[in-house]
Structure 1
Amino acid sequence: MAYEPPKQSTAGQIFDALLMMALVIVTLYLPLLLGLAGGGTTTIAVNPESWTTLGQNAVMAGQWEKLGFTPATAAPIIGARFDYVVNWSTLALSFAVVIAYFVVLIKISERQYRDVIAERFGERRVRD
């Protein structure tokens, strides 16, 4: 007698797929919406008199101009630098969340594993 797992309805599968997509989107966008994605940027004061004062060569300047920028309008973009300062408390919180996730995942997986074994082989007690 081969083991046959319980069947899930089509509506249940659609719900699961939509829930997983929603969770992925929330997971990816929530840090951006809360301003937690990175340390931010700092702006370096740049004199926008010409492309060369912004550190751009002729090819770069040509590309900026194709996009409709002038030295004055491109200066804030070129002068913005990412701030790589590490916030240790945020890093520790991230580690704690990841570790908690794996602990919960292991506990749930263990419970499901025991349920499958009990369903397949009967109600015998699996050793702890």
Structure 2
Amino acid sequence: MAADYVPPVQKGFGQLIDSIFLLVLVYCSLLAPLLLKAPDQAPATQAESKQVTWRDLGQNATMEAQWRKLGFDVQQAKPIITQRFDYQIEPVSLIATALVIVGYFVFVLRVSDKQYRQVIAEKFGR
């Protein structure tokens, strides 16, 4: 009769290193677009330098109160409110992201296949 299978156990230090590595990867992937974005080259115009009000920015009294709770005055909130999101897809970034995801998927499949074969060999003695 074969002995009961006992799978290998990853030590706490290995789990810590894995967790830190994944945390760094997530942090870098979230920070990269901010670091790689080109700065705006548009010079400030005369109209932009005039004093704006909350009403000019389309904010009502409730919205104004929430901005103030967050510590923003009208001048600080203006670029946040008026700057539109850029939804353009950059092909190079899209391809790089796809390659990283596919590469990670292939890596996981190969490692899983190797570990699966080791378990089968240990369990059934092949």
Q: For this structure pair, what is the TM-score category when the shorter chain's length is used for normalisation?
A: 0.7 to 0.9
Matched, 1:99 2:91: no
Counterpart residue number, 1:118: 121
Counterpart residue number, 1:76: 79
What are structure 1's unaligned runs of at least 5 residues? 124-128
Matched, 1:16 2:14: yes
| TM-score normalised by length of structure 1 | 0.72
Hey, what's the Cα distance between the residues in 2 that align with 1:66 and 1:98? 40
Letter in 1 for 2:97: S
One of 33, 52, 58 as aligned partner of 2:55: 52
What are structure 2's unaligned runs of at least 5 residues? none
Matched, 1:109 2:112: yes
Whether contact under 8 Å (2:52, 2:74) holds in the other structure is: yes
Higher fraction of strand: 1
Whether contact under 8 Å (1:48, 1:75) holds in the other structure is: no
Whether contact under 8 Å (1:39, 1:86) holds in the other structure is: no
CA RMSD of aligned residues (A): 3.0
Instruction: State the identity %.
Output: 39
- Once the 2 structures are TM-superposed, how far is the Cα of residue 91 of structure 1 from its aligned partner? 0.8
Hey, what's the Cα distance between the residues in 2 that align with 1:29 and 1:75? 28
Hey, what's the Cα distance between the residues in 2 that align with 1:68 and 1:102? 43
* Alpha-carbon displacement from aligned partner over 1:67-120 (angstroms, at most 9, x marks no partner): 343322221222222211111111111111211222222222222222211112
Whether contact under 8 Å (2:5, 2:122) holds in the other structure is: no
Aligned residues: 119
SS at match of 1:35: helix
Hey, what's the Cα distance between the residues in 1 that align with 2:34 and 2:68? 33
Counterpart residue number, 1:5: 6
Letter in 2 for 1:121: F
Hey, what's the Cα distance between the residues in 2 that align with 1:109 and 1:51? 57
Query: Do the aligned partners of residues 121 and 101 (structure 1) sit closer, same or farther apart at CA in structure 2, a change above 3 Å counting?
Result: same
